[in-house]
Structure 1
Amino acid sequence: MSEAFERAIAAFEPAHWPLAVGFSGGADSTALLAACAARWPGRVLAFHVHHGLQAAADDFERHCGAVCERLGVPLVVHRVDARHAPGDSPEDAARRARYEAFAVMTRMDAGRPPIQSIALGHHADDQIETLLLALSRGAGLPGLAAMPAHAARNALDIYRPLLTVPAADIRAWLAARDLPWIEDPSNSDARYTRNRIRAVLLPALDEAFPQFRTTFARSAGHAAQAQQLLAEFAAQDLEATGGPPAIKALQALSRARQANVLRHWLMQAHGCAPSAAQLEQLLDQVRACTTRGHRIHLKVAGGFAERRGERLHWYNAPPSPKT
């Protein structure tokens, strides 16, 4: 039952040492930490993010300490404020806080070398949940590509070696070794869409399409490959149109390539992404910009896109005056 887990660990090889394992104390990260520690003794540490969102957060940390002592693995704990702002998603706020904590690892001192590799315990069920969430939101290719098995972020290589492993296989592997784990109570909270997908949709899909984890993952892989091609085309088109892009050069492209290069430019140069409606409005204005006096001034993400001379620019919106 746990053969897929064993194969995934055998195929995993980080590029840099030491290797950190994101360790929440849950089943997935416990199995990943134990397997990595057994394969590379003395070269692995556990990195626990204390979110402070639940009364049990201190208990989680104590549990992680006990498991790490049993495995002979050093534990690093980083505390964050993961509270979400009004109107913000609690899940998104917690995820941002985790990645900010991961970035701190690359600057560790106190005699410890900076960490350049971290492994996370996301598995096949998580990947399917991510894909279904993206579909529910009408996402484009970046969303449909779901989570990458390897990504570089803030000088850190992020690995997800278990993306092909079903959650049941991971728990079977743990049970065979009598390794304890904790169940996060928030995982059963039906207020969160991901939990409803896990509790309702995945069992239904399992019954209707037993191979759905494999086939859905294949589709996500196709989306990721297509997105990579789009990014390469966008980089070429941005080189031709300039940055900021020249409006006439944009007009020489098809509407689809205009959309692709504008998304790429906004993300690469300004770290923002337009909504679908905003991008459509911007494309309409680019098409209509045939006279020297045509004005473009549109809300795009957290700022504005506007015409300055023959080029399209973007700038941050000034903060609203306090009243």
Structure 2
Amino acid sequence: MGSQPTEPDYSRTQMNLLATDRQDLEQVLASSLLRLRQQYPACQRLVLGVSGGLDSMVLLHACHRLLAQADQGQSQKQGQPTWPFAGLRVVHVNHGISTHAADWQAHCLAVCGELDIAFVAHQVRVTRVAGQGLEADARAARYAVFEQELAADEALLLAHHQDDQLETVMLRLLRAAGPRGLAGMPESRPLGVGMLWRPLLALPREQLESWAARHTVRWVEDDSNNDDRLSRNYLRQHIMPSLASHWPGWRQSVTRTAELGADADEILTEVAERWLAILSPDSDRLNCASLLNLSAALQRLVIRHWLLRETGQTPGWRLVQRVQVELLGAGENAQPEVNWQHWQLRRFADQLHVLEALEPVPPTPPEGYAWRPQGDGRLVARVLPGNGILRLYQASAGSAGDQAMRFPDGECVIRYRQGGEQCALPGRPRRALKKILQESAIPPWVRERTPLVYIDNKLAWIVGVGVCEGFQAVDEGAGWAVRWQMPSRQDHI
């Protein structure tokens, strides 16, 4: 099959990516690391994520060679940039899944010892998440370690190459991914307080194999790589060879698709952020009435990016549709709920809410939880079992509820709603506590766990509402209020 002419909309970046497989691996790596240093000047040191397999061992040895050349003053003679970093260390994650995991860790330790490179290993326990495969669960555990390890002046290097990228794009295509999924793995992204960088992403695996053979690199083989029951292995062993035999240029086409997906995702992100600035400017909530004025497609875009912003996780197509139909399309008096992993998505007061799923409050002792003063008379923070922390702070009248509270100088106890409670807010008639919570816009899922402060067995303060009649501060300058830190990412009430 003859070579195809370059199409006019092929970007310069794309052409550079497609040309890199004709460049020397060390030259590509050195140029990539120099670009990392230029784009992220705060990055002073490198951390290599090393599994012991071919890819990561090639990256380890190539980095060591560049570092050695820089130390010997050879880089400039060979036309390569000098090593622009102050340090290099290796992190290995032992998932404990394979029976050979300990051998892989020992291999990595031995090689790093030979190369005189600092090495640390982490043993993790892979926690299974419903709806995810073992590979995804292991990946989550691995990246949690990487994020924990990285300092603000460090970048994590991973050895993903072009074949990994192609597999990723193909798998996401088969899973009905949108532009963000089809963009594949980014070359760089923030990770914790540091940065993740993939310097070999444009190189095919065969080039890594060739480099490993020339430099006698030793690596370990993951026995699971031959298990074609795993989607990535099946794709690699059966589908990709068939594609190559029928469409010799398929690699370039898929790579180009990834770049176009990245462009589309960047544009869509800009659009979504503009709408979020309007629909959710000052809180983690999303206004339903305004959202309903948008087209269905734009609604889904905004919902997707809102959830990503609030949870750090990209929601799937099905979830976004459920939010659109079950929450956004719910009746005025409905209290719909959509559960997603460890999050709860709810609608209340014409707003969409996303919150971490909370464990039920454990049974409360009949006498409640005593909140006793210290020897100096202060009420220190009171931990509520399974329900966060209460703190007393000084507040002038009008800064907390309708009025500040006098200092709790009697027996102070914390309880929760049991049903049938009544009280009066300052200057208002006595009414059912249930009605007061509803009219105060306390969300339904918060009402049952709202702390109630009793003084001498009388309701004195309703968290989220304010002081009750008879417990107002006499002196406006010496009032008090109660703040509740909930057991989740939600701040204070």
TM bucket, shorter chain:
0.7 to 0.9
Q: Which amino acid aligns with 1:297?
A: P
Indicate how the Cα distance of structure 1 residues 12 and 54 shifts in structure 2: closer, same or farther if over 3 A, else same.
same
Partner residue, 1:32: 59
Q: Is the 8 A contact 1:118 1:157 kept in 2?
A: yes
Q: Is the 8 A contact 1:119 1:160 kept in 2?
A: yes
Indicate how the Cα distance of structure 1 residues 31 and 278 shifts in structure 2: closer, same or farther if over 3 A, else same.
closer
Name whichever of 302-311 and 243-252 sits farther off.
Answer: 302-311
Indicate how the Cα distance of structure 1 residues 85 and 265 shifts in structure 2: closer, same or farther if over 3 A, else same.
closer
- Which of 108, 112, 119 does residue 75 from structure 1 map onto? 119
After superposition, the C-alpha distances for 1:297-320 in whole angstroms (9 at most, x for unaligned) are 141524444332232223344558
The whole-number CA distance in structure 2 between the counterparts of 1:249 and 1:177 is 62
- Which of 58, 61, 81 does residue 105 from structure 2 map onto? 61
Partner residue, 1:9: 29
Q: Is the 8 A contact 2:26 2:66 kept in 1?
A: no
Secondary structure (helix, strand or coil) at the match of 1:146 reads coil
Q: Give the drift of 1:241.
A: 1.1
- Which of 294, 309, 314 does residue 268 from structure 1 map onto? 309
- Structure 2 matches for 1:234-245, cutoff 5 A? 234-242=272-280, 243=283, 244-245=285-286
Q: Give the drift of 1:158.
A: 0.6
Q: Give the drift of 1:278.
A: 3.8
Partner residue, 1:139: 177
Q: Give the drift of 1:281.
A: 4.1
Q: Give the drift of 1:104.
A: 2.0
Secondary structure (helix, strand or coil) at the match of 1:46 reads strand
The whole-number CA distance in structure 2 between the counterparts of 1:86 and 1:236 is 34
- Relative to its length, the structure with more helix (as a share) is 1
The whole-number CA distance in structure 1 between the counterparts of 2:142 and 2:104 is 16
Partner residue, 1:153: 191
Q: Which amino acid aligns with 2:148?
A: V
Q: Give the drift of 1:234.
A: 0.9
The whole-number CA distance in structure 2 between the counterparts of 1:7 and 1:207 is 30
The whole-number CA distance in structure 2 between the counterparts of 1:121 and 1:282 is 37
Aligned length: 314
Indicate how the Cα distance of structure 1 residues 238 and 85 shifts in structure 2: closer, same or farther if over 3 A, else same.
closer
Q: Verify: 1:48 aligned to 2:88, yes or no.
A: no
After superposition, the C-alpha distances for 1:225-252 in whole angstroms (9 at most, x for unaligned) are 2112111111110111124222221123
User: Structure 1 unaligned runs (5+)?
Assistant: 108-113
Q: Verify: 1:309 aligned to 2:309, yes or no.
A: no
Q: Is the 8 A contact 1:20 1:46 kept in 2?
A: yes
Secondary structure (helix, strand or coil) at the match of 2:99 reads coil
Partner residue, 1:20: 47
Q: Which amino acid aligns with 2:32?
A: F
Q: Is the 8 A contact 1:27 1:171 kept in 2?
A: yes
Secondary structure (helix, strand or coil) at the match of 1:49 reads strand
More relative contact order in 1 or in 2 (CA 8 Å, sep 6+)? 1
Partner residue, 1:110: none
Secondary structure (helix, strand or coil) at the match of 1:40 reads helix
Partner residue, 2:323: 282
Q: Which amino acid aligns with 1:139?
A: A
**Runs of 4 or more off by more than 6 Å in structure 1?**
none
The whole-number CA distance in structure 2 between the counterparts of 1:278 and 1:63 is 43
Identity of aligned pairs, percent?
32
The whole-number CA distance in structure 1 between the counterparts of 2:321 and 2:292 is 14
The whole-number CA distance in structure 2 between the counterparts of 1:119 and 1:174 is 18
The whole-number CA distance in structure 2 between the counterparts of 1:299 and 1:86 is 16
Q: Is the 8 A contact 1:296 1:305 kept in 2?
A: no
Indicate how the Cα distance of structure 1 residues 7 and 80 shifts in structure 2: closer, same or farther if over 3 A, else same.
same
Secondary structure (helix, strand or coil) at the match of 1:307 reads strand
The whole-number CA distance in structure 2 between the counterparts of 1:230 and 1:67 is 45
Partner residue, 1:251: 292
Compute the TM-score of the two structures, normalised by the length of structure 1: 0.87
User: Structure 2 unaligned runs (5+)?
Assistant: 1-20, 38-42, 69-85, 363-493
Q: Is the 8 A contact 1:120 1:160 kept in 2?
A: yes
Q: Which has the larger radius of gyration?
A: 2
Q: Which amino acid aligns with 2:184?
A: A
After superposition, the C-alpha distances for 1:266-301 in whole angstroms (9 at most, x for unaligned) are 221234554433433433467757x8x353614152
Indicate how the Cα distance of structure 1 residues 79 and 2 shifts in structure 2: closer, same or farther if over 3 A, else same.
farther
Compute the TM-score of the two structures, normalised by the length of structure 2: 0.59
Q: Is the 8 A contact 2:308 2:315 kept in 1?
A: no
Q: Give the drift of 1:135.
A: 1.4
